Amino acid sequence: MRRGPSRFLLLAALLITVLNCSAAAEEGEILLREEFDTLERWEPLTFPRIKKHSSYSVEPLEGGACLRAESKDSASGIVLRGTFAVKDFSRLRWRWKAERVYETGDARTKRGDDYPLRLYLVFPFDPGRAKWREKISYKAARILYGKYPPQSALNYIWANREHEEKILPNTFTKNSMMIILRGPGDVGSWHEEEVDIVADYRRAFGEDPPPRAGLAIMNDSDGTGESSVSYIDYIEVCR
């Protein structure tokens, strides 16, 4: 398969440590604020059979810095090291901008499953929450791949076209749900976002989320063969 579950597994494999935050930080309102002065907290995420990788770099912005994500018929991402407690820190805030969308991108098709920008929340598998059938299938996957697949994922996406639905299942795996926040009419301008992870997970999957989640960013265009540049000013994980 060109992508999909294999990407899902690779993303989960990187989310194996806990965020290096002090006890004081965990007691406060904000667990993490990433302003992209450097990319030291982030690990690259690449995929088998995809030789062209998207680029991620720090770019000056308004006296500070931002993340620049560029894709040219390419696919790769970056993953924040570690996971965080979702119910304790269920608010995710960020500011982003896309210069253009992908003309042939479409969240309803496998070939169109490219986005100028998306923020992933990936939830590691929790055996204590799993039903017996899930435990069997996840155990088999662990034997095959060497690691448990993730339990599930939320994708906050900058969609390429307008959709009536604001939540769509990923075309490659039902364990990953796409939440549409922006679209073609929003390109060229900065937009502030604030989401409630727990509420969104309940809307998408009909149940409470697993206890911990990891964060990733991607601009990919290997399906559409197009190109785009997008930016993130900051990301906050908070109570």
pLDDT 10s digits, 25-73: 455 799 999 999 999 999 998 888 889 999 999 999 989 999 999 999 9
Per-residue model confidence (pLDDT) at position 7 = 62
What would be the CATH architecture of the domain defined by 5-238? Sandwich (2.60)
In this predicted model, what pLDDT tens digit does every residue of 81-120 receive, in sequence order? 989 999 999 999 999 999 999 999 999 999 999 999 999 9
Per-residue model confidence (pLDDT) at position 124 = 80
Q: Give the range among 35-39, 76-80, 132-136 with minimum mean pLDDT.
A: 132-136
Confidence of residue 1 (pLDDT cuts 50, 70, 90): very low
Per-residue model confidence (pLDDT) at position 164 = 92
Q: Assess contact for 82 and 20: CB atoms under 8 A.
A: yes
Residue ranges covered by each domain of the chain:
5-238
Top pLDDT among 195 and 141 is at 195
**Mean pLDDT (whole number) for 165-182:** 94
Q: Tell me the residue length of the chain.
A: 239
